[in-house]
């Protein structure tokens, strides 16, 4: 269809323009390259992070939260790196930077930013939990993949609010998944857009793949473990109704990924999801620090000072 083709082309052009910008703060780009270099030391990393006070404060806040459950106080970034490891600190930096990049934007009655972040952080927690049962080394990466998997929706709401709004309406009216509705209305899904963005940001290939194919792992010949985990994490988060991704559908599970987790057992998808959900809600509580962090990031400087955290629920609205 002409209209669809025209839209797809325009969207690609605009996305190319957005992703052509140096969207990630320099400190994070430098962080990624330092951590990727085997010759770098904890000292290099802590020195770099120390140049960014806001990042330092946020990393220490998360490092000291129940999410990591470390018994003693971690007072410096250097100690955080020693205790939590390079990988974790890098992943934290990345999550915080991306949350910050998309701190504000348009609204739509069917797209609740708060619900969106609950879903994203829920997926991160689910990913970390699933990685623990499969390959502990992947916990940090699985967390980031979960947090970022739907990042394409933030590009859509920010740069294509009308088209994305139309897709949201259609998903509701025709009981479609948001990805199906995007395909029909826009001709591209949030997964593809997120994949382009991740690629331009030079994120690791496993993250690019997990973001781009999280709704279609079957399209990848040999799916990476992070993709398998992220697909399941998304299903688990929907199954448990944590936040919302913009449609009202429950979990949709690719048969191939379900098989991996069933591991030869003759059980239904529902039984599988129920089994994997054990302990999920408790673990989400420990990740509350991220929801709070996101609340802080939403503040505009000099605007709306929020009250001190009283340990209560996440901020509402925005």
Nearest approach in angstroms of CB 188 to Fe ion is: 13
Closer residue to Fe ion (CB): 141 or 150: 150
- Report the alpha-carbon distance of residue 97 to residue 31 in Å, rounded: 11
124 versus 140: smaller Cβ distance to Fe ion:
124
Query: What is d(CA 158, CA 14) in angstroms, rounded to the nearest whole number?
Result: 11
Angle 41-125-269 from CA coordinates, rounded to 5°: 135
**Whose Cβ is closer to Fe ion: residue 48's or residue 171's?**
171
The least CB distance from residue 247 to Fe ion, in Å, is: 10
| Residue closer to Fe ion, measured from CB, 89 or 193 | 193
State the residues that interact with Fe ion by CB under 5 A. 150, 234, 245
- Residue 76 or 252 having the CB closest to Fe ion: 252
The CB-of-285 to Fe ion minimum distance in angstroms stands at: 20
State residue 101 phi and psi, 5-degree precision: -60, -35
Give CA–CA dist 270/28, Å, rounded.
Answer: 40
**Nearest distance from C-beta of residue 136 to Fe ion, angstroms:** 24
- Contact predicate 105/50, CB 8 Å: no
Return left, alpha or beta for 311; rule: phi > 0 is left, psi -120 to 50 is alpha, else beta. left
Q: For Fe ion, give the closer residue by CB, 150 or 163.
A: 150
Q: Could you tell me the smallest distance in angstroms from the CB atom of residue 50 to Fe ion?
A: 35
Write the DSSP assignment of 107-126 as a string of letters.
Answer: -BTTB-HHHHHHHHHHHHHH
Residue number, 127 or 245, with CB nearest to Fe ion: 245
Q: Which is nearer to Fe ion, 36 or 256 (CB)?
A: 256
Rounded to a whole number of angstroms, the minimum distance from the CB of residue 215 to Fe ion is 6
> Smallest gap, in angstroms, from Cβ of residue 123 to Fe ion?
6
Give me the long-range contacts of 167-171 (CB less than 8 A, separation at least 24). Answer: 168/108, 168/110, 168/111, 168/246, 168/247, 169/110, 171/110, 171/246, 171/247
Q: Distance (Å, rounded) from C-alpha 156 to C-alpha 106?
A: 10
Quote the Cα angle for 226-146-93, to 5°: 100
Shortest separation between residue 187's beta carbon and Fe ion, angstroms? 16
Measured between alpha carbons, how far is 191 from 206 in angstroms, rounded to an integer?
14
Nearest to 288 by CA among 296, 276, 300, 277: 296
Angle between helix axes 190-200 and 178-185 (nearest 10 degrees) is 90
């Amino acid at each position: 269809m002409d209209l669809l083709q025209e839209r797809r082309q325009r969207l690609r052009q605009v996305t190319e323009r957005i992703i052509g910008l140096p969207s990630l703060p320099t400190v994070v780009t430098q962080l990624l390259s330092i951590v990727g270099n085997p010759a770098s030391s904890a000292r290099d990393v802590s020195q770099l992070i120390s140049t960014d006070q806001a990042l330092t404060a946020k990393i220490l806040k998360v490092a000291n939260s129940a999410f990591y459950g470390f018994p003693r106080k971690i007072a410096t970034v250097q100690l955080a790196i020693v205790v939590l490891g390079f990988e974790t600190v890098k992943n934290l930096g990345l999550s915080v930077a991306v949350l910050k990049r998309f701190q504000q934007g348009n609204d739509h009655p069917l797209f609740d930013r708060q619900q969106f972040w609950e879903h994203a952080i829920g997926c991160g927690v689910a990913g970390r939990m699933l990685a623990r049962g499969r390959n502990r080394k992947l916990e940090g990466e699985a967390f980031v993949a979960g947090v970022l998997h739907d990042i394409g929706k933030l590009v859509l709401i920010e740069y294509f609010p009308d088209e994305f709004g139309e897709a949201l309406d259609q998903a509701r009216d025709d009981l479609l998944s948001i990805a199906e509705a995007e395909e029909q209305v826009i001709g591209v899904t949030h997964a593809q857009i997120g994949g382009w963005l991740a690629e331009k940001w030079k994120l690791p290939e496993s993250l690019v793949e997990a973001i781009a194919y999280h709704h279609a792992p079957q399209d990848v010949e040999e799916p990476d473990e992070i993709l398998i985990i992220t697909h399941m994490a998304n299903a688990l988060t929907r199954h448990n109704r944590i936040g919302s991704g913009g449609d009202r559908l429950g979990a949709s599970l690719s048969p191939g990924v379900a098989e991996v987790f069933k591991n030869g057992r003759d059980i239904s998808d529902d039984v599988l999801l129920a089994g994997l959900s054990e302990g999920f809600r408790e673990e989400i509580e420990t990740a509350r620090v991220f929801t709070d962090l996101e609340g802080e990031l939403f503040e505009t400087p000099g605007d709306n000072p929020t009250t001190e955290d009283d340990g209560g629920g996440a901020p509402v609205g925005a």
